[in-house]
Amino acid sequence: DHKVWYEKATSKPALSALKAFKKEMDQREILNPGKLFH
């Protein structure tokens, strides 16, 4: 489940920034959370 990776990513500063980027892209409907990191 990509949520496991997603939760772990939130604990890392660099990946946290990536998470924010993915969230913004998802809001623009460009891609879905976990799509790249499934």
At residue 27, the pLDDT reads 75
Q: For the whole prediction, is pTM greater than 0.75?
A: no
Half-sphere exposure of 10 (CA within 13 A, CB side): 8
Q: CB under 8 Å to 15, separation ≥6 — which residues?
A: 8, 9
pLDDT of residue 29: 61
pLDDT (tens digit per residue) in 1-38: 556 766 665 567 777 788 888 788 777 665 555 665 54
Domain residue limits, the chain: 1-28
Report pLDDT for 8: 65
